[in-house]
């Protein structure tokens, strides 16, 4: 059955929607219909569950970081998405959407990547499910996340390096969307909870497993509720994944950490709630860093995965409802977070996740004695070159 309009709500309050060229609408409608069918199909869900468990390695642990807890004067638990196959939470969504694409009879996958984690996860899912894979990556990101570029190629993906615009995640999404317009037989496997409907809903649902698991693990390990959930927010897929597990518990604080770059006042950052206002980019209405004329502003962050001028629409809604609190962490605070976790817990976090840690370390007094779950969304092996340069620059 071909639908002419969307079947599900497309808005998150005043945000979200589908600001899409008509040339994409047939693909978006087809995707929504297939997704709705797949949710009701027990065999599809069982297949996804099997892959998540036996291939990707779910459930990921909820780990009590005792040494760092003691140093910070609070009780810190880490949701270890860094231990998922391919090293970040991105695989939850890539496996889900790749299976969905297969079900739709697609043979080719297009995807964007910033830090390279979504590109690697998608290339992995495509290798596993025998799908052709084309990844769009900005030239700046390709240079700073070189190990992931090589991983994607080894997994059989073709990486298209995007040489125009700011040459980061935003431009990779532009290029992937253009490619999809010209290739409606492909599936566009968007990696964050943004873009036109139905993407924000699909991605959030495939990432919800993080929050549901964490809640069950918490209940098994501890009594009562955690006091706060902390996650870094680029597009916001890892954050929305863990927030959804706790959003109904009004006493649990939800804290999203944006990239503060060189500080909000410097103008060199990617803090949409800190320095943006509502706007429309990449098919959805949300908070956006833009100039007075509605042109999208360049962003700056040491973390390629957070270096994006807009944010997923569900976060914009949570912000307006004051259900979640969005804060920011500078480059140097994030580096401090990286180093501290490495030394105290023997874990190298991704620079994205290091923003959540960096904020917590800087603001630990405000959470003194509280019980905190931090989503450690990815591992830091990909960031060693960047960290080395930062340390040298600071020395």
Q: Please give the residue ranges that form the binding site for another protein (CB under 8 A).
A: 2, 4-6, 10, 17-23, 25-27, 164-165, 170, 174, 177-178, 181, 184, 279-283, 285, 288, 290, 292-296
How deeply is 186 buried, as exposed, middle or buried, from its count of CB atoms within 10 A (0-12, 13-18, 19+)? buried
Q: Are 63 and 215 in contact (CB under 8 A)?
A: no
Of residues 283 and 337, the one with the C-beta less far from another protein: 283
Cβ within 8 Å of residue 386, ≥6 positions away: 144, 302, 351
CB of 273 to another protein, least distance (A): 17
CB of 293 to another protein, least distance (A): 4
Q: Coil, strand, or helix at residue 226? A: coil
Q: Coil, strand, or helix at residue 377? A: coil
From 38, 75, 81, 90, the catalytic residue: 90
Q: Coil, strand, or helix at residue 116? A: coil
From 27, 69, 201, 377, the catalytic residue: 377
Cβ within 8 Å of residue 277, ≥6 positions away: 287, 288, 290
Q: Can 377 be counted among the known catalytic residues?
A: yes
Q: Are 237 and 211 in contact (CB under 8 A)?
A: no
CB of 23 to another protein, least distance (A): 5
From 112, 213, 345, 352, the catalytic residue: 112
CB of 223 to another protein, least distance (A): 47
Q: Are 109 and 95 in contact (CB under 8 A)?
A: no
- Provide the β-strand partners of residue 138: 162
Catalytic residues: 90, 112, 377
């Amino acid at each position: 059955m071909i639908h002419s309009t969307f079947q599900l709500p497309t808005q998150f309050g005043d945000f979200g929607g589908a600001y899409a060229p008509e040339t994409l609408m047939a693909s978006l409608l087809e995707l929504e219909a297939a997704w709705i069918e797949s949710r009701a199909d027990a065999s599809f869900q069982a297949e996804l569950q099997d892959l998540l468990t036996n291939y990707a390695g779910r459930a990921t642990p909820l780990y009590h970081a005792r040494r760092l807890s003691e140093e910070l004067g609070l009780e810190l638990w880490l949701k270890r998405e860094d231990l998922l196959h391919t090293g970040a939470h991105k695989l939850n969504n890539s496996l889900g959407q790749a299976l969905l694409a297969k079900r739709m009879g697609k043979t080719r996958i297009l995807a964007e990547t910033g830090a390279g984690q979504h590109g690697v996860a998608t290339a992995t899912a495509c290798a596993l499910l025998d799908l052709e894979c084309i990844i769009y990556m900005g030239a700046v990101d390709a240079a700073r996340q070189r190990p992931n570029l090589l991983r994607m190629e080894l997994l059989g993906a073709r990486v298209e390096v995007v040489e125009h615009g700011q040459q980061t995640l935003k431009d990779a999404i532009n290029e992937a969307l253009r490619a999809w317009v010209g290739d409606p037989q492909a599936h566009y496997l968007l990696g964050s909870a943004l873009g036109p409907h139905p993407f924000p809903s699909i991605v959030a649902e495939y990432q919800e497993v993080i929050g549901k698991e964490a809640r069950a693990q918490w209940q098994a390990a501890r009594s009562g509720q955690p006091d706060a959930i902390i996650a870094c927010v680029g597009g916001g897929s890892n954050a929305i994944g863990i927030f959804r597990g706790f959003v109904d518990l009004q006493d649990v604080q939800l804290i999203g950490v944006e990239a503060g770059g060189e500080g909000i006042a410097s103008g060199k950052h990617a803090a949409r709630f800190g320095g943006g206002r509502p706007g429309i980019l990449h098919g959805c209405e949300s908070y956006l860093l833009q100039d007075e004329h509605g042109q999208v502003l360049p962003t700056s962050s040491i973390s390629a995965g957070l270096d994006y001028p807009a944010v997923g629409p569900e976060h914009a809604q949570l912000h307006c409802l004051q259900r979640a609190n969005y804060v920011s962490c500078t480059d140097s605070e994030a580096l401090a977070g990286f180093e501290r976790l490495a030394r105290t817990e023997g874990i190298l976090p991704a620079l994205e996740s290091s923003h959540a840690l960096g904020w917590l370390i800087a603001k630990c007094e405000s959470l003194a004695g509280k019980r905190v779950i931090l989503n450690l969304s990815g591992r830091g092996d990909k960031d060693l070159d960047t960290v080395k340069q930062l340390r040298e620059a600071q020395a």
